[in-house]
Homo-oligomer: A and B are copies of this chain.
């Protein structure tokens, strides 16, 4: 079964300013960003105790960045090569840093273990997008 987001994305495949763009890869990246925003929002909200402030703040940053990245992929007419690449790079960099930080507390806070895994999956989805976009999108 296809969800409404995938259905709407496919309706606008023709509007994408990218010749060889892999739409199913972009849909995977949208879903990875959405899952990462949700996991980081919950992880930040349920942490407590001493020494958790860096992890909480990194998760809050991650949730905001993932939401921004997700929305950017849902606006075909606004896609511009350098901007997309830089935003994907930022999302990926933050995902790796957040996953590393969450991993440190995975034994104390179960959410951190799940969150770290979701962050790593999001980093991979962003990396795949960047790889596929090299050469696929006109340089504006």
A residues near B, CB below 8 A? 3-5, 7-9, 11-12, 15, 30, 34-35, 38-39, 41-46, 48-50, 52-54, 56-58, 60-61, 63-65, 67-68, 70-72, 74-80, 82-83, 86-87, 89-90, 93-94, 97, 101, 110-111, 114, 117-118, 140
Contact = CB atoms under 8 A, between A and B. Distances in A.
Contact of A42 (B9, B52, B110): B9
Contact of A71 (B46, B64, B75, B78): B64
Nearest to A68: B64
B80 A58 contact: yes
Nearest to A12: B46
Contacts of A86: 86, 89-90, 93-94
A39 to B, nearest CB: 6
Nearest to A95: B83
